[in-house]
Amino acid sequence: MKIILIIFGILFSSISFGQTNYDTLKFIAKINSFHPGDETHSVGFQVIKVIQGKCTAELIRLNFYAESHEIYRKLSLDTVLVTLIKDKADTTRSYNFPEGDPDKGVEEIQISTVNFDYWEGCETGKGECKPLRFERNSNKLKWFLLMPCGGTATTVTLTVSGQNNPIQKTSIEHSECPPIFDLTNLADGKYFAYMLACGLGGQIEINLTTTK
């Protein structure tokens, strides 16, 4: 497993991801450990999907200082969106939480998933392929759909029912898996996701609903 060790000092000293030239590093992660301390805290992020920037690590460990109690709640969550900003005053390509504040760098999100077996069943007609229904509540959380990889290269499009032109499209190599759609601002209704890949393909139906 590839691991990057990141250390935050008492004054939020910057951290280094020397392989990237991007101003912002944003990734979806599961929190696999959180150890609060008297002055400094430790957290481990299992990287699920890099949204922006470049990071090849599977596991990121952070040591940081924070006075806000809100970070305790956020780091007790299962899955979060993490944002790190490049320190423009530092020539070593180092990153920090926005404004040096971990509360602004860790965001609660909602995740929905489609697994490989379901999609393959829809493609081959040999499995159950009932339309999927994903629900969100009205708390305005960012909402992402994670899908299976179909091979060495995967292209997936998302189209509103009754329309021809896709509203979202992602084309990735296997090292960039999983493919992902941002559902945050999509209206409730019926959508179709179509995959083209060497090991998986075809179309599935997705229905989005909002509960009060």
Indicate if 57 and 82 belong to the same structural domain.
yes
pLDDT at 18 over 50: no
pLDDT at 151 over 70: yes
Confidence of residue 179 (pLDDT cuts 50, 70, 90): very high
What average pLDDT does the structure give for the chain? Answer: 84
CATH number at residue 180: 2.60.40
Indicate if 145 and 70 belong to the same structural domain.
no
Domain residue limits at 181: 114-211
Q: What is the pLDDT of residue 42?
A: 82
Confidence of residue 12 (pLDDT cuts 50, 70, 90): very low
Indicate if 50 and 125 belong to the same structural domain.
no
Indicate if 73 and 123 belong to the same structural domain.
no
Indicate if 104 and 118 belong to the same structural domain.
no
**Mean pLDDT value across residues 198-211:** 96
Indicate if 66 and 95 belong to the same structural domain.
yes
pLDDT at 168 over 50: yes
Indicate if 7 and 99 belong to the same structural domain.
yes
Q: Is 121 helix (H, G, I), strand (E, B) or coil?
A: helix
Contacts of 115-124 with C-beta under 8 Å, sequence gap 24+, read 115/148, 116/148, 116/149, 116/200, 118/204, 119/147, 119/148, 119/195, 119/200, 119/202, 119/204, 120/200, 122/202, 122/203, 122/204, 123/200, 123/201, 123/202
Indicate if 179 and 99 belong to the same structural domain.
no
| Number of domains, the chain | 2
CATH number at residue 97: 2.40.50
> Which residues are paired to 163 by β-bridges?
none
